[in-house]
Structures are given as C-alpha cells and as structure tokens.
C-alpha cells in the first residue's frame, strides 16, 4: 500500500505511519486520531504583536487567515496598529504558484509585490511552516515527502505548481512540533530579493476540533546582520472544513 492512500481514502490511517520517519510518526500519533477525516480548509483569526525591523517597536495586530489544503493556498489579512491614528493593512496571498503582498496606509498602497518566482517560493515556504495549524496537510502524499534527520528533527519537502520548497521541523520528546527552520528564504530588501535564514517556534498546544495544534507562534529572520523576531501571535479561533 502506497503513502498516497492517506489522501485517496480521505482519512488518517495510523498503519501507514510505519512508512514515515520516526519523529514524524510520533508527531502524527500525538496530534491526530486514527480514522479522522483529512482537513480540506482552515480558517483562523490571530492577534499579537508585529514589527518591521530589529530596532522597531512592537505593534499590536489582528489578522484572519484562510488555507486550502488539497491545493496549497493561503490568504492572510492583517491590520497592524502603527499608532492611534494610523493602521497598516497588509494582505499576503499564495495560490497556483503565484504570490502577492501589499500594504496600505490611509487607503494608499505603499507596498505591492507580485508575480515573482522568489516571492512565490517564500510564500510556499510560509505555507509549509504554518501547516502544524492544519496538520493533515503534512501527511505524505504525491506532493509532500519527509526525510529523517535525527530523533527530533526531520525535513519536509512540498511541491506545488512547479515550485518545490523544504523546511526542517523540530519535535520535542512528546511528539509535538516546536520549531520550523530553513537556511534560505527570500526576503525583499530595498527592492531586491536575497536568501536569508528564517524560522519560527510553536508553543502552547491545545485541542481544537479534536486536533492538537500550537496556539502560539513566534517568527524571526536569523541572518547575523539582522537577526530579529518580527511576529508574535496566538490563535484566537480556528475552524476546519473536512
């Protein structure tokens, strides 16, 4: 029986975990239920703090994010309160190998990037890193595979629309994913893309709709010259389509 049966049968099958790396099998058995349906979509709201530079002040934000799983896609809309009179509205999207990001202040667009291969690659990496919020998307299948690194680390690779990305995941001893990392994610700096180390951390797992997910996350750029955390968020609500 091939790993594709995870998706062909549209349910979680614990017997198939014998064919995945040990830390990954430990993770799935920890956070999923045998026989449960696969997630088709996820809809969540977030709140937290965001900043745009290593020296910038943390600003409160509220966001909604929608994910499609069978065909990877996401749409993130955030309102960042820069000051009592200024709100920065940001939208970040990925679908069918295309990505776009734009930011508006007082209704005026101050950032718009789209239709770049580098941006789409970075967006698909983000999708993969955020998958612990909708974990059946990480089940092995035609477009995702796992490679074991050691007892507490594994490499996940995801392919979509001609783009392939990878992400290292870290697991604690109980099986939860506690971090995701890549040595190279494209960052837009002064109108130019450059590869920078990037990663995030997951905390405070809780059961939502029978699935154990992290409810808090922190994300940071890890390059020596600008190593800084820029996102600290928590899941306020999450709903799934099965």
For residues 61 and 71, the answer to whether their CB atoms sit within 8 Å is no
CATH number for 156: 2.50.20
- Classify residue 144: in a domain, yes or no: yes
The single residue listed with the structure tokens 């770049």 is 116
Q: CB within 8 A of 130, min separation 6: which ones?
A: 67, 74
Nearest CA-CA partner of 219 in 102, 78, 109: 78
- Classify residue 188: in a domain, yes or no: yes
- Classify residue 97: in a domain, yes or no: no
- Check residue 6 and give its pLDDT: 53
- Classify residue 19: in a domain, yes or no: yes
- Check residue 8 and give its pLDDT: 53
- Classify residue 106: in a domain, yes or no: no
Q: Which tens digit of pLDDT belongs to each residue from 167-188?
A: 999 999 999 999 999 999 999 8
- Classify residue 13: in a domain, yes or no: yes
Cα–Cα distance, 235 to 64 (Å, whole number): 10
The stretch 14-31 carries a mean pLDDT of 93
- Classify residue 65: in a domain, yes or no: yes
Per the structure, the count of domains in the chain is 1
- Classify residue 224: in a domain, yes or no: yes
- Check residue 3 and give its pLDDT: 45
Q: What tokens were used for 10? A: 């549209």
Cα–Cα distance, 86 to 98 (Å, whole number): 30
Domain that holds residue 73: 5-85+116-241
Q: Which tens digit of pLDDT belongs to each residue from 195-239?
A: 999 999 999 999 999 999 999 999 999 977 778 999 999 999 999
For residues 31 and 213, the answer to whether their CB atoms sit within 8 Å is yes
């Amino acid at each position: 029986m091939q790993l594709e049966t995870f998706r062909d049968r549209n349910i979680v099958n614990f017997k198939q975990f014998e064919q995945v790396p040990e830390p990954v099998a430990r993770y799935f058995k920890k956070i999923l239920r045998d026989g449960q349906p696969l997630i088709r979509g996820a809809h969540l709201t977030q709140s937290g703090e965001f900043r745009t530079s290593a020296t910038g002040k943390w600003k409160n934000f509220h966001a909604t994010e929608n994910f499609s799983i069978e065909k990877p896609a996401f749409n993130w809309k955030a309102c960042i309160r820069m000051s009592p009179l200024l709100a920065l509205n940001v939208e970040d999207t990925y679908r069918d190998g295309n990505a776009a990001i734009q930011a508006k202040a007082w209704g005026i667009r101050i950032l718009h990037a789209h239709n770049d291969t580098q941006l789409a690659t970075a967006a698909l990496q983000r999708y993969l890193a955020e998958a612990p919020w909708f974990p059946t998307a990480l089940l092995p299948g035609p477009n995702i595979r796992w490679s074991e690194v050691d007892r507490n680390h594994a490499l996940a690779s995801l392919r979509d629309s001609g783009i392939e990305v990878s992400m290292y995941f870290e697991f604690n001893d109980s099986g939860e994913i506690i971090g995701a990392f890549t040595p190279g994610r494209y960052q837009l700096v002064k109108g130019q893309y450059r590869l920078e180390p990037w990663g995030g951390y997951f905390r405070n797992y809780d059961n939502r709709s029978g699935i154990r997910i992290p409810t808090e996350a922190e994300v940071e750029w890890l390059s020596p010259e600008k190593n800084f955390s820029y996102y600290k968020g928590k899941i306020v609500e999450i709903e799934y389509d099965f």
